[in-house]
Chain A
Amino acid sequence: MFAAGDTPTGRHVLIDGKIPPAVYRDNPSCNPIALITQHTNFLSDLSVREFLRVHAGIRCPDPSQVERLVHESVEFANQLTGEPIIMDNTMTELSGGQTRAMLIADATIICNTPIVLLDEVENAGIHRTRALELLRKHRKIFIFVTHDPRIALLSDYRLVLEGGCITKVLTITDEEKLCAVTVTRWDDMYTALREKIRLGRTLNLSDVEGLA
């Protein structure tokens, strides 16, 4: 994430115009950005408990806090996924949704970095609006990569990428905030439609009236 001319584009990432401290790159657990990739499975063969313990042990200097962090992470994750995560499961047994939920919880609670980078939270198979609500509570800088208008309109700024670089930084306008209300309503209706189909029900015209 702190490219220093060593990636295929040869680019450098500077923080406030300065080269970031080497430790950000040399030790991943000092990285101030937690990156949540699109991984939908873990390869780690440790149990959830053991994995989180080791991770909390690296990220948190106070050993007495480790157990609390482990429990909070699993609790956080379980609010995002339908099927609760069991501490004694191995990481590899988690489903796609559980994996993404665990990654988000781990980044927020255990990494506790000032910046969290989330790649397409909408594809995660988790309660995405619930995730955003929880994330907002933790008052960090969240950067989402998203194609979802609802999520895009929930953010304060939008970075527009083109040709491999940022071409625009947009601040949400008052008019867009009004649009967001309607988009949210549509999205909720869509979610209800999806749920109805998932449950094997038949749709009526009244189900889609509000969408027109």
Chain B
Amino acid sequence: MKLVICAGPATTGKTSVLRHVTKKLLAAGESVAFLKIDVQYADEDELFAREFGIPTRKCYSGELCPDHCSVMVLGDALRWAEHQACGILLVETAGLCLRCAPYADGGLGIAVLEATSGMNLPLKVGPILSLADIAVVTKIDLVSQAEREVFRARIQAAAPEVRVREVNALYGIGVDPLVEMIRNTPEVPALLQLRGNPPVGTCTICVGKKEIGWEKHFGVVRPLENDLFYRGE
């Protein structure tokens, strides 16, 4: 089983990219399963099932961060895809908290960013970009060539190790190298590990304490003027 995890901010074009990728993988004789992880609404599973007739599923993360949710469900998902006799599992996930990234060692990590976003976006998205194997830049049809080149430079300044690929995801122009990368990804190892470190600890807000102001909280807290510190026993 090959594992491909595709993450990125909302509406950047993850589904559009994966649709063209799926079409080309199927044409190359691969068998593909698709899983979408989102917070409270998603319809990509129906879309992919209808368009390609492949096994699809979705999973709502609800109270969990979608990236954390993917850590929980990925083991089951790989077994499910295996059971469906598929060779490649494509996972589309949202990635919202920007402190963690859903990629796993031994799988391919794709970050999808849009060329129409601000030039500082590559600095803001953190590990979603820096821990990816490849950054796919969509919506290049909406910007000038000069902006495309400058956006790439901004990505490479923020994440020098990450490969960059510009695509027009409406027509699938430029996705071929991505399909090649997926086909060349090795089988997932028996023990899958999250790439990179999850953020520090859980805070009291996470467990449901609603009062505002750090004085009302325990554990890892921070005032406006200071760095993080530990408050409590």
Contact = CB atoms under 8 A, between A and B. Distances in A.
Interface of A: 3-4, 6-8, 25-29, 31, 34-37, 39, 42-46, 51, 54-55, 57-59, 91, 103, 106-107, 110-111
A103 B146 contact: yes
Nearest to B147: A44
A31 B148 CA distance: 12
Interface string B120-148: 10000000000000000000001111111
Interface in B132-184: 142-154, 165-166, 171-177
A3 B152 CA distance: 20
17 contacts: A4-B176, A6-B172, A8-B171, A25-B174, A26-B165, A28-B148, A29-B149, A31-B145, A36-B144, A36-B145, A43-B142, A44-B143, A45-B119, A45-B120, A54-B153, A55-B149, A111-B145
Interface of B: 115-116, 118-120, 142-154, 165-166, 171-177
A44 B147 CA distance: 7
* Most chain A C-beta atoms within 10 Å of own C-beta, residue among B149, B151, B172, B175: B149
B171 A55 contact: no
B173 A6 contact: yes
Given A6-B176, A45-B118, A28 B143 contact: no
Contacts of B151: 44
A103 B144 contact: yes
Given A28-B149, A29-B152, A46 B119 contact: yes
A28 B172 contact: no
B171 A44 contact: no
B150 A35 contact: no
Given A25-B174, A111-B145, 20 more contacts: A6-B176, A7-B173, A26-B165, A28-B166, A29-B149, A29-B153, A31-B145, A37-B144, A43-B115, A43-B142, A43-B143, A44-B150, A45-B118, A45-B120, A46-B150, A51-B119, A55-B146, A55-B150, A58-B152, A103-B146
Given A28-B148, A37-B144, A44-B147, A6 B116 contact: no
B174 A6 contact: yes
B149 A7 contact: no
Nearest to A100: B144
Nearest to B145: A35
Nearest to A57: B153
A31 B174 CA distance: 14
A190 B227 CA distance: 67
Contacts of B171: 7-8
Nearest to A38: B144
A115 to B, nearest CB: 12
A70 to B, nearest CB: 13
B143 to A, nearest CB: 6
Contacts of B143: 39, 42-44
Given A6-B175, A26-B177, A42 B144 contact: yes
Given A55-B150, A106-B146, A43 B116 contact: yes
The 6 closest A-B pairs by CB, nearest first: A29-B149, A35-B145, A106-B146, A6-B176, A39-B144, A45-B118
